Amino acid sequence: MKITPGILILMCILLSGCFEKNVEDPERVYNFWPHEKFPEGTSIKKARYWKSAHFTYEYDIHFELKPKRGKAEFMTERRLFKLENFYLSIPSSPGWFPAPDNSNLYRSSLDDAYYIIPPDSNSIYVTDAHY
């Protein structure tokens, strides 16, 4: 049986990326982080990565971090700047990820992620998405 180029192209479109990916192991999720690595000594308490089955490579990624040297030093190393009067909607966040309503919201000059820093917690929450 001879496969024509049209059939081959159709098969590639239909079969490419047909499986979505859900990962919740913090070490494995960190391997999918597309930006500059977190400062040395930062521990990842929880994480989740989701990638769509679509070939356009839609994804979202969430972390709960515990900086070794404290929030202030982490913020300096990541070059975080505070966002004022900014609303962030995170429609597909995991249950452990806080809503940014009561927290300070930051961006980094190193990446496109959002950093959510609750004032009453030692954790820093990070989210990034590409849709």
8 Å CB contact between 65 and 38: yes
> What is residue 108's predicted lDDT score, i.e. its pLDDT?
93
Show me where the domains of the chain are located.
Answer: 18-130
Tokens of 9: 């192209």
pLDDT digit string, tens, across residues 10-66:
776 666 656 788 999 999 999 988 888 998 889 999 999 999 887 777 889 999 999
CA dihedral sign of residues 94, 105, 30, 110: positive
> What is residue 78's predicted lDDT score, i.e. its pLDDT?
93
> What is residue 13's predicted lDDT score, i.e. its pLDDT?
66
> What is residue 63's predicted lDDT score, i.e. its pLDDT?
96
> Which of 63-100 are b and which e, b meaning 16 or more Cβ less than 10 Å from the residue's Cβ?
bbbebeeebeebbebbebeeeeeeeeebeebeeebbeb
Beta partners for 128? 61
8 Å CB contact between 82 and 105: yes
pLDDT digit string, tens, across residues 79-123:
999 998 777 777 788 989 887 777 889 999 999 899 999 888 889
Which residue did the predictor score with more confidence, 119 or 9? 119
Question: How would you class 106 by CB atoms within 10 Å of its CB: exposed for 0-12, middle for 13-18, buried for 19 or more?
Answer: buried
Confidence band of 76 (pLDDT split at 50, 70, 90): very high
**pTM of this prediction exceeds 0.85:** no
